[in-house]
Chains A and B, each alone.
Chain A
Amino acid sequence: MTSAEHLLDAEETPLQLALEVTGLAVRTAAGQPVLNQVSYAIAPGEVLALVGESGSGKTTAGLAVLGHFRRGLVPADGTVTIRPRGGDQVDVLALDAGARRKLRGSAVAYIPQDPALSLNPALRIGLQIAEVLETHGYPGSVEDRIAELLAEVGLPTDKAYRRRYPHQLSGGQQQRVGIAMAFACRPSVVVLDEPTTGLDVMTQALVLKTVRELTSEHRVAALYITHDLAVVAELADRVAVMYQGDVVETGPADRILHQPEHPYTRRLLDAVPDLAADVGAAPPPSAPVLAAHDIHVSYGQHKVLRGVNVAVTRGECLMLLGESGSGKTTLSQCIAGLTKEFTGTIALDGAELAVSTRQRTSDERRRIQYVFQSPFSSLNPRKTIAQSIEVPLVRLTSLSKAQRRERVAEMLDRVRLGRNLGNRLPDQLSGGERQRAAIARALVTTPDVLVCDEVTSALDVSVQATIVELLGELRRELGMAMLFVTHNIALAPEVADRIAVLRGGEIVEEGTADDVLSAPSHPYTRELLANTPRL
């Protein structure tokens, strides 16, 4: 059955739908609208992707299906109708708290974003799944059902595995336990809230496949909340695009992804990094401005880096690619002088640097700058943006107070924040704006080398695109070298001149972006490329 037929079904025989949300409006307790008239419907076995950036109301719209509203939000209007398996339609919003609770887990289930936070760390996973079944009075053998569920999500079913604690599982396995719990009572509707955000591409591909199989096999209606359109292309039958509390466009995934009508959808699509895009011309080779030679780091018995060599030349961007645990952040911290325990040499223009940043000279410190992963943690919440950006100027230059002010204002303009934002505190800015401020702090002393550690991973795809674009422009304007550390190979065409792939503490592949993307030599790189979702 194609998606278009589903839509027609929806209009002619509404009783077929597993979930129908009509005219849902949600306000804050103070009366500010959060959702205006949101409507969507899902048939059994269908996956609807609810797409939008942070703050678009997509999570509020998704949680409403469970009859749950975050503190301070109240439903103002509309209905949320669920059709439990073999039961009559119910309007979730009309039920009292007790009846809603009964519905949750049995007729409608929720898979949260971070499996590490949603599983109880003190309970064995078998017990946690059993809890769901027992709470809802599962009629058959709970033991058998758990084995069946674990098999369905592709996990081992033996007793020993069931006796594990959540911390003994990987992130992907934890998320699959979360999925097993959600599907335990054979719900008719499942709400998935960005369930793959914290996972690397390989694990993400596996989890998506599991979700896909389970929904079609058991005829479950799935609502998949995400900001990542590339994931949508892999999974969804239909897409609803949300913007500022409205559904601005709905339609089959194929059409939305290839012929979007609404300008906002088009902008979201433009933001998705495209692996097939042309790679920019690499600068002519010259002597490296920064070279790390034979870097070893170990924590006790565990070797994090085993003899890594990387070098960047002036004006070049090297992408350091690796999944979590590959040692990429450790390497970038060695370069910035934030880790003391490493052996090997790091040289700036041929001159060897001291290990710790405190032993380096001000000029050496000035020339290597570092942008941290999360802008939510890298700016002091009690300092204004301008105060934070001024710190490197105070520490590393001898400019007067007035000169420093001028320089900060100039830099704020340069990262497209505007000098007026300087007197704001970080929590008055959005994630993208904060990351711009963090970039401004790193660039305010005009470094020769900029180390960017996963600078986009805490941001929405649409914001990620603007940050990547900004970094590219600034790099060309200022002619600095950049070490771009990331797990996302899809950014390569846009960012990288050369790529170095880090795995298990070793560089397994290195070459120009063109070569690595078109003819990867290492099986790991090939696997990465194959598993990266694309439109």
Chain B
Amino acid sequence: MTTVEVPPDTSPAPAPTKIAGLLGTAWAFPQAKVGTGLAGVVVLIALLGPWLGPVITGYSTTDFAGKPFKADGIAGTDGLGRDVLTRFLAGGTTLLLYAVLATVLGIVLGALLGMVAGYSGGWLDSVLMRGNDVLLSFPQLVIALLAIAVIGPKGWLLVLVIGLTHAPRTARVARQATVAVRGNDYIRAAEMYAVPRGQILLREVLPNISGPLMVELGLRLTYSIGYIASLSFLGLGIQPPTADWGLMINENRIALVVQPWGVLLPVLAIALLAVGTNLVADSFASAAAGHTREARS
């Protein structure tokens, strides 16, 4: 038997520890580092490409660089004799911008909708979520195609329609997380002090559902990239003569055997970006799950 000194205080204060936020925890997972690396390369190309292109090749995205579908220069030419590398380097900017805007729109709108539905409950919850279910029953791409067919291929429409179709999906996640948080006494405490409902959502609920929302953010970004590239490929997204990866695949696919670079480069970039953002989303998911586990134990 060991004898120990008994300090007078029953609950000794634990030493202050640095709170590793969700981002810190997520970074500890290997897929976060790999994902950031993969996506980072593509993002860098997309951001710097428009300036780098002409410097490296000496051609702008629309200059005539040589005979069509020849392997002249670094990556050859496309069907209109434009330099493929220049167009590839410049082709990610619009895609990335639209994808980010559409994702942010979808997440903000969806989180708002989900939090209001989840927090208020009752008939408002039922009305919002049933309306949500109706929207969810249409495939995202079908709604996008419909809207573009009616109004025409515009950049803002692309962002709007993809953002809006993300919202119901995010709303479900946000509502679920809000319902789980709503039962906690700190929400009741805030209600007892008659804190305005908007503030309760913003300050009490939102910080506590940020984990699932971050996961959703990564996931929706991946989808946005895929959809915008798909729509551009179909000729309904970004319009020629703008250089764009999705569009490039369509323009160059007829010469896939003769001059594969025109298809290969954009395909690789889109794939890397999608896989990278997905890996990052995955690490957020793991970190968020770990966070809730810790909080419960």
Contact = CB atoms under 8 A, between A and B. Distances in A.
A428 B207 contact: no
B189 interface: yes
A381 B192 contact: no
A7 B203 CA distance: 59
Given A433-B11, A433-B13, A249 B1 contact: yes
Nearest to B15: A428
A248 B4 contact: yes
Nearest to B3: A248
Interface residues of A, number: 53
B16 A246 contact: no
Contact of A425 (B4, B13, B19, B189): B19
B123 interface: no
B191 interface: yes
A462 B190 contact: no
Interface string B184-198: 111011111111000
Contact of A365 (B185, B188, B192): B192
A173 interface: no
Contact of B6 (A267, A381, A382, A432): A267
A313 interface: no
Interface in A378-394: 378-383, 388, 391-392
B192 A374 contact: no
A365 B186 contact: no
Contact of B16 (A379, A396, A424): A424
Contacts of A264: 4, 6
B192 A36 contact: no
Contacts of B194: 357-358, 360, 362, 365, 395
Contacts of A338: 188, 191-192
A36 B190 CA distance: 44
B241 interface: no
B192 A357 contact: yes
A277 interface: no
Nearest to B194: A358
Q: How large is the interface on B (under 10, 10 to 19, 20 to 34, 35 or more residues)?
A: 20 to 34
Interface in A325-374: 336-338, 357-358, 360, 362, 365, 370, 372-374
B185 A372 contact: yes
B137 interface: no
B208 A428 contact: no
Interface string B1-36: 111101000111110110100000000000000000
Contact of B188 (A37, A267, A358, A372): A372
B72 interface: no
Given A377-B185, A380-B186, A463-B10, A392 B4 contact: no
Contacts of B185: 372-374, 377-378
Nearest to A375: B185
B251 to A, nearest CB: 49
B2 A246 contact: yes
A378 B208 CA distance: 13
B149 interface: no
B13 A370 contact: no
A430 interface: yes
Contacts, number: 102
Interface in A254-289: 262-264, 267
Question: Binding site of A, secondary structure by majority: helix, strand, loop or mixed?
Answer: mixed
A421 B294 contact: no
A314 to B, nearest CB: 22
A316 interface: no
B142 interface: no
A428 B192 contact: no
A53 interface: yes
Interface string A423-447: 0110111111100000001000000
A22 interface: no
A362 B195 CA distance: 11
Given A337-B192, A381-B208, A382-B208, A428 B14 contact: yes
Contacts of A36: 2
A274 to B, nearest CB: 18
Nearest to B5: A263
Interface string A19-60: 000000000000000001101000000000000010000000
A456 interface: no
B195 A391 contact: yes
Most chain A Cβ neighbours within 10 Å, of B19, B188, B204: B188
Contact of A430 (B14, B19, B189, B203): B14
A309 interface: no
B150 interface: no
Given A432-B11, A433-B13, A377 B2 contact: no
A244 interface: yes
B192 A336 contact: yes
B2 A380 contact: no
A395 B195 contact: yes
B151 interface: no
Nearest to B21: A382
B88 to A, nearest CB: 44
Given A377-B185, A424-B16, A382 B193 contact: no
A381 B1 CA distance: 39
Contacts of B186: 377-380, 388
Contacts of A374: 185
A381 B206 CA distance: 12
A183 interface: no
Nearest to A37: B2
A391 B190 CA distance: 8
A372 B189 contact: yes
Contacts of A370: 189, 192
Contacts of B134: none
A106 interface: no
Contacts of A225: none
Nearest to B210: A382
Most chain B Cβ neighbours within 10 Å, of A36, A392, A421: A392
Contact of B2 (A248, A379, A383): A248
B294 A248 contact: no
A188 interface: no
A65 interface: no
A433 B186 CA distance: 16
Interface of A: 36-37, 39, 53, 243-244, 246-250, 262-264, 267, 336-338, 357-358, 360, 362, 365, 370, 372-374, 377-383, 388, 391-392, 395-396, 421, 424-425, 427-433, 441, 462-463, 466
Given A365-B194, A463-B10, 9 more contacts: A39-B1, A247-B2, A267-B10, A338-B192, A357-B191, A427-B294, A430-B14, A431-B11, A441-B189
Q: Which 10 A-B pairs have the closest CB atoms?
A: A378-B185, A382-B207, A372-B185, A395-B193, A380-B186, A430-B11, A432-B11, A246-B2, A377-B185, A264-B6
14 contacts: A53-B10, A248-B3, A336-B192, A338-B192, A360-B194, A372-B185, A372-B188, A374-B185, A378-B184, A396-B193, A429-B14, A430-B13, A430-B14, A463-B10
Interface of B: 1-4, 6, 10-14, 16-17, 19, 184-186, 188-195, 203-204, 207-208, 294-295
